[in-house]
Amino acid sequence: MTAEELQSGYVFLLDKPLDWTSFQAVNKMKYKLKREFNLPKKFKIGHAGTLDPRATGLLIVCCGKFTKKIPEIQDAPKEYWTEIKIGVQTESYDTEKPEILQQDFAHITQEQINEALGKFVGEIEQKPPVYSAIKIDGQRAYNLARAGEEVEMKSRKTTIFYINDIKIDLPLVSFTVGCSKGTYIRSLAHDIGQELGVGAYLTQLRRTKIGDYTIENATADFLENEYRFEGL
């Protein structure tokens, strides 16, 4: 890899670790590349699809002229390995906020869970989480929510292509979900809990695929490896 190649266009597949924002990961990458290859100040770099801090997995970073590919990559279908916990909820629909509204789930059967999951395959109406980066009157929804303000999220159409590899070990349920751009898996977890009547929230999320790019080809050492990029 050379500075010329990076500026002509390069795609990195990163395995984003837990509790890093996508913005932090790209900034770290930019700093290291500029330091390693003496790149100009205006070197272009950006990610093709945000991952929440509490999610791990595939983050695609485009450099140089390949930043033009970002919209195309963002539009591609996504795949996630997902784990939810039923019988309890959180305000953020994930592990950012503490558990609330615990309910008895002893009556819930595997058949009911499989049936509930099946109802979400296809085109669905989904409300994004209040704790999301969507802008409302110019402000991020999560900033408004964290300030204690009432936030009304509008429903939007999204598509769940499949839910498979379902494993049930109550109160935990894990599965692989394929979905269209703009799907919030946190909202899917919450909505599954509402369908079951006992609540649920997202405990783990790992993005495994974007279009033809897969997590198997991603590197997890970009944060630890201070200078060299042979593994990318």
Active site members: 52
The SS3 of residue 222 is: coil
Q: What contacts 148, CB < 8 A, 6 or more positions away? A: none
| Helix and strand numbers, DSSP H then E, in the chain | 6, 11
Residue 33 CA: distances (Å) to CA of 3, 37, 120 = 9, 6, 42
Work out whether strand 45-47 and strand 56-63 pair parallel, antiparallel, or are unpaired: antiparallel
- How many angstroms separate the first and last alpha carbons of the chain? 10
Cβ atoms of residues 157 and 123 within 8 Å: yes
Of 177, 16, 171, 175, nearest to 99 (Cα)?
Answer: 171
Q: CA 210, CA 58: separation in Å to the nearest integer?
A: 8
124, β-bridge pairs: 158
Cβ atoms of residues 147 and 130 within 8 Å: no
